[in-house]
Structure 1
Amino acid sequence: MLLSLRNVSKTYATPEGKIEVLKGIDFDLPAAQSVALTGESGSGKSTLLHLVAGLDQPDSGQILVAGRDIAGLGDRGRAAYRRSDVGLIFQQFNLIPSLDVAANISFHARLAGRQDTTWETQLIETLGLTSLMRRYPEQLSGGQQQRVAIARTLAARPALVLADEPTGNLDETTGDTVLGLMLSLTKSSGAALLMVTHSPRLALMLDGSVLLRSGRIA
């Protein structure tokens, strides 16, 4: 099992008191599978994704990625984990404005010491980016920027891809096309995908789905 969560809980302090966002989550995601994480706003979806990404730490429980518990890692260990093992795709494209498309795509792979020009070329061709390589993010449409963000993430061949409403800023037709390409490429690379979405329609495009309700898996 590539990703396993065991009794994961997370509480946040607010002026009104503590809010228990996640309450003993157990969850498994095999390699090369895609799962949609669904639920109403406030159900804990983004919090769970941030914990798995190593952007935050749980109050209790284990988050096992390829058998390693990332919940107990320090700041340096979590940064190394994000650099080498996990890829993140969000609504905001987060491209580096001073770099052209080619440099943006290779950025994470270079950081991870895992640049593969043959794989990058496949990503670029599949995502329809060949003619855009010398453009800068401000010269691209939203759909083009998200394709570049996907290529950048997958170029480093992460074992686990985490996506938070990755097509939320795109129109439905463009979003469906981009998501279809992302699913095809993650599967061909052998990566597992965990994607937060509010859309039951988009969730049906993935291999399976999990519903969060009030901090628990329903």
Structure 2
Amino acid sequence: MREPPPIFRLRDIGVDYRTPAGTVTGVAGVTLDIPRTGLTVLAGPSGSGKSTLLRVLGLFDRPVRGELTFAGLDTGALSHRRRRALRREQLGLIFQNPADNLLPHLTVGDNLRAAAQSAGHPCDPELLLAPLGLSGTGPWRVPALSGGQQQRLAFGCALARRSSVILADEPTSQLDDASAEKVLDTLRYLVDQDFAVLVTSHDERLIGLAARVARLRDGRLEEVVDGAGG
């Protein structure tokens, strides 16, 4: 059977930043395909370019060099409005700090409803919460959740929006071991549901789940290898 085309195609992607000391290159010459399903991990030490590349894939930042296509669309040709619509309708981005992903003044259930409404979908919060191990928390305010629970709720918001791709930046980095394990369970669930999941991490437990691992160093792609989860 012919393999489906990748959801993301990156060709010679480069990103520069202007600083008081001059121009700094965050990512240089990255060529990579991201499959339509399964877990892909961008691995590497701090400063390797993982988070920069994730922001490019999340359509927050435009590369200054190279070509990025999403589902066959040349993202470089898209207007700001169209890029924002794609983020809202297709991409779920989970930040490192759990609280940055949620609306703290709303309940758990209302966070899910708001996420669904932003993409024009209905939502039954309990149906989303149960597979994430958060049953019964719908009436709770976000601050009542632990950091790990907040991170799982953030993934639930991506599900509520019916995002086709879920992008997560170091989702276990600020969690204790027990909370991190539950987030790993959530990632396993998402993979079982045939989502494309792309995660930055240097957590070896998370890397061990990946079907594919792309290792970066100093903004460059060192290697792409099949992971133990493939």
TM-score over 0.5 for the pair: yes
Alignment of 1:1-218 (within 5 A): 1-93=6-98, 94-117=101-124, 120-188=125-193, 190-218=194-222
How far does residue 210 in structure 1 lie from its aligned partner after superposition? 0.7
| Residue segments in structure 1 that go unaligned for 5+ positions in a row | none
Secondary structure in structure 2 of the residue aligned to 1:36: strand
Where relative contact order (Cα < 8 A, 6+ residues apart) is larger, the structure is 1
Once the two structures are superposed, residues 141-192 of structure 1 have per-residue CA deviations (whole angstroms, 9 ceiling, x without a partner) of 112211211111112221111000111121112202212222312431x220
Any conservation in 1 of the 2:172–2:203 contact (CA below 8 Å)? no
Any conservation in 1 of the 2:48–2:216 contact (CA below 8 Å)? yes
Secondary structure in structure 2 of the residue aligned to 1:103: helix
Higher mean C-alpha displacement, 120-129 vs 202-211: 120-129
| 1:43 partner letter | S
How far does residue 72 in structure 1 lie from its aligned partner after superposition? 3.0
Two-structure CA RMSD over aligned residues (Å): 1.5
| 1:202 partner letter | L
Q: TM-score, normalising length from structure 1?
A: 0.93
Q: TM-score, normalising length from structure 2?
A: 0.88
| 2:217 partner letter | R
Distance 2:65 2:10 in 1: 11
Percent identity of paired positions between Structure 1 and Structure 2: 38
Any conservation in 2 of the 1:42–1:214 contact (CA below 8 Å)? yes
